[in-house]
Amino acid sequence: MLPFFLKLFTNSKPPPDDRELLRLYRQTGELEHLGELFQRHSELVYLVCLKYLKDEEESKDATMQLFGHIADALLKHEVDNFKSWLHSTTRNFCLMQLRASKKNKSIALENSGTLFMENTPPMHLTEAEQVEETEQALQQALQELPPEQRQCIELFYLQQKSYREISALTGCDLNKVKSYIQNGKRNLKLYLEKNHVPR
């Protein structure tokens, strides 16, 4: 930590904010920028992992794995609010880990010859897990939308912006904004019906 504080005193230029580090990483692909950005939020990532995985060592491993995961994802997808995106990505990553673990345990039971009682109901995702799965599918569906529709949908539903605010932010005509949102909703529904079948 000491070199970092020394740098603060010897360099009058403030450290780059999250948005700038993200821009530098996307522009250059250099992990140094992503490393500094991830380090700022690593405690948040670990705590979210711990909340879901309930194990300190597994949470540490998941935190390290996530660094590699987001390194690829950030080069493919536009991200406006890194902290919010990282929190959502971490949560989804942990849920996938839990589902994989549950699936492996189920396979192990079957392979060992363990038979379930006839009246035992099949394993299903809990309601909370179904919500998370749907949210993950929705995030994927958003990436399939044309950029204008995706931007307007995210501003309207995720950031709670009004039509006029979106028009001012994007420079699009008010009617265009409404059209993008309407068409985006329709395309999201079609994508989810085609690709997302609830378990």
The 10s digit of each residue's pLDDT in 3-61 is 444 444 444 467 788 889 989 998 998 989 889 988 988 998 999 899 888 889 998 99
pTM comes to: 0.47
Q: How far apart are CA 102 and CA 107, in angstroms?
A: 9
Q: What share of the chain is helix, strand, coil (3-state, %, to 5)?
A: 75, 0, 25
Q: Are 126 and 87 in contact (CB under 8 A)?
A: no
Which of 175, 171, 134, 169 minimizes the C-alpha distance to 154?
169
pLDDT in tens, the chain (199 residues): 444 444 444 444 677 888 899 899 989 989 898 899 889 889 989 998 998 888 899 989 999 999 888 888 888 878 888 888 888 889 988 888 888 776 554 444 444 443 333 344 444 445 555 556 666 777 777 788 888 988 888 888 777 788 898 988 889 998 999 999 888 888 888 877 777 544 4
- CB within 8 Å of 199: residues ≥ 6 apart: 124, 125, 130, 133
At residue 103, the pLDDT reads 59
- In the chain the domains, ranked by start, together with CATH numbers, are 10-100 (1.10.1740.10), 129-199 (1.10.10.10)
At residue 159, the pLDDT reads 75
